[in-house]
Structure 1
Amino acid sequence: MIYLTRVEHFNAAHKLSNPSWSKEENQNVFGKCANENWHGHNYELHVTVKGEPHPETGFVFNAKTLGTLINDVIIEKVDHRNLNVDVDFMAGKFTSAENFAIAIWEQLEKHLPAGATLHCIKLFETPKIYVEYFGGK
């Protein structure tokens, strides 16, 4: 089994806030992330696919094609957008890094061709904070 990872970058804003909580409760739990006027991140997205190299190309999946897929399915929808307001696949979801990684997986998984399987979504929200999602719930 071979693992191929493509790394992409984008910028997006969001706010972490539970609407059933008071402003003070949100501030206590989410701190600066509950800012009424949103806040942003310079995200780094690692998409890892796995499979066996194709006998005619030696590729599990063409890395350039994977980059185009990530750009078309994810980056174009999220870059310089507000995750809470502008991103269709985040509608009605809490915009934590955890939920965002799951949603990215769900979007990409249905676009992979036979022979390549999504293995991991690693999403860096900051250089010190990232989440990894390996599918399943």
Structure 2
Amino acid sequence: MSKIRITKQFNFETGHALYGYDGKCKNVHGHSYKLSVTVIGEPITNTENVKFGMVIDFGDLKKIVKEEVVDIFDHATVFNKNTPHIELAKELQDRGHHVILVDYQPTSENMVIDFAAKISARLPHSIQLHSLKLQETETSFAEWYASDN
């Protein structure tokens, strides 16, 4: 049977700051992220299965990505928990803001690595994560490919 790749796209808004960076991104700012999630597998051949002909139901993929990424990161501010931004994070949290503390510099590159691990862990065994593309702006994005890792 043929291996087929399917892709689902997601959008979310997230703020962040890059501690120690030498450019504008050291300041708290946000992006309208676009995340493309591509999985690979064989379409289901069992005619008795309600998902017959699908690699994975787009709705099932959507549920995984929403629960692991979109619902968590949308309208949140992400800071590296190992930087002095922790003080700003606490202040924002005390004022009712949704803050995520991660153990990495919250660049698109590191976020896409984090997302790949979270999504891969939730996929059915017959489906593999093929790639992720995290677009930060119209002209800037980071990509993760299983074949590279």
What is the TM-score of this pair, normalised by structure 1? 0.84
Give the aligned partner of residue 121 of structure 1. 132
Alignment of 1:93-108 (within 5 A): 93-108=104-119
1:133, 1:9 → 2: CA distance? 17
Matching residue within 23, 37, 60 for 1:47: 37
Runs of 4+ in 1 over 3 A off after TM superposition: none
Aligned CA RMSD, in angstroms, stands at 1.3
In structure 1, runs of 5+ residues without a counterpart are: 19-25
Question: Structure 1 CA distance, aligned partners of 2:4 and 2:142?
Answer: 22
The aligned residue for residue 6 of structure 1 is 8
What are the superposed Cα offsets for residues 38-72 of structure 1, whole Å, 9 maximum, x if unpaired? 00000000000001111031111111110111111
Work out the number of aligned pairs and report it.
123
Secondary structure at 2:18 match in 1: coil
Q: Which runs of 5+ in 2 are unaligned?
A: 47-51, 80-88, 90-98
Q: Which residue, 58, 63, 66 being the options, matches 2:61?
A: 66
Which of 86, 94, 103 is 1:92 aligned to?
Answer: 103
For residues 92-118 of structure 1, the C-alpha deviation after alignment (integer angstroms, 9 at most, x for no partner) is 211110000000001111000121100
Aligned to 2:19: 17
The percent of aligned pairs where both chains have the same amino acid is 30
Whole-angstrom CA distance in 2 between matches of 1:33 and 1:79: 19
In the other structure, the counterpart of 1:111 is 122
Instruction: Work out which of the residue numbers 31, 34, 39 in structure 1 matches 2:26.
Output: 34
- Once the two structures are overlaid, the 10-residue window that deviates more, 78-87 or 98-107, is 78-87
How far apart in 2 are the matches of 1:60 and 1:45?
Answer: 20
CA distance in 1 between counterparts of 2:140 and 2:58 reads 26
